[in-house]
A and B are shown apart, each in its own frame.
Chain A
Amino acid sequence: GNSVTQMEGPVTLSEEAFLTINCTYTATGYPSLFWYVQYPGEGLQLLLKATKADDKGSNKGFEATYRKETTSFHLEKGSVQVSDSAVYFCALRGGSARQLTFGSGTQLTVLP
């Protein structure tokens, strides 16, 4: 079945540091890949997505590239801010399945 493996946290960075959160997946067919973010006290929000190999999703300075050869979708940001502190979830939607399969989440804390 489908599965998503995420870099374990928590991750603590200083403001303006470079961020990478690793995500790899196992799926049949050609899944779509997503990053969701959950700010404290709020629901999950879609951060970015990529629907086919070599696509790059981007939003709010975050980027992730769909790498089929390495089955990865790592999240990156060049300069994090305190307001980026949240839990980040990698997810996939495989083939004709309607459901999302989530990773376990990575807690990011950015210190001023």
Chain B
Amino acid sequence: EAGVAQSPRYKIIEKRQSVAFWCNPISGHATLYWYQQILGQGPKLLIQFQNNGVVDDSQLPKDRFSAERLKGVDSTLKIQPAKLEDSAVYLCASSPTLAGGQYNEQFFGPGTRLTVL
């Protein structure tokens, strides 16, 4: 079974530029997550989708970050304009939907390492 795919793996941009990341979850997984992992810290959830709807975006800096999952499959995360503090690894994860509200294991992609100069 193919895992969560992300691209690009690395991106270097200058501040105030725009950047977009792409994620393709495991086939059939209804829930998709974007995390930000700053160096030396654990991942922090930015946004969670259930199919093509947003479940939680409370920690997404909406003045500059946006995300979409139009067809309920793959997703893009965009930063416009980027700031120096956005330098981090952006992780995508997906999980299946189980009945009864049981915990759904999250499967993570390899991440996109963003450097903002």
Stretch from B14-22, B61-69, B76-84, B107-115 at the A interface: B107-115
Number of B positions contacting A (CB below 8 A): 23
Interface size on A, residues (CB 8 A): 23
Question: Interface residues, chain B, CB within 8 Å of chain A?
Answer: 3-4, 33, 40-45, 48, 55-56, 91, 93, 101, 103, 105-111
Question: Do A98 and B48 touch (CB < 8 A)?
Answer: yes
Question: Interface digits, A58-72 against B, CB 8 Å rule (1 contact, 0 not)?
Answer: 000000000000000
Which of A41, A44, A93, A101 is close to B108, meaning CB atoms less than 8 Å apart? Answer: A44
Q: Most B CB atoms within 10 A — which of A41, A43, A89?
A: A43
Please state if B108 and A89 are interface contacts (CB–CB under 8 Å). no
Is A89 in contact with B42, judged by CB distance below 8 angstroms? yes
The interface residues of chain A lying within 8 Å CB-to-CB of B107 are 43
Q: Mark A80-112, 1 if CB is under 8 A from B, else 0.
A: 000000000101010010111111110000000
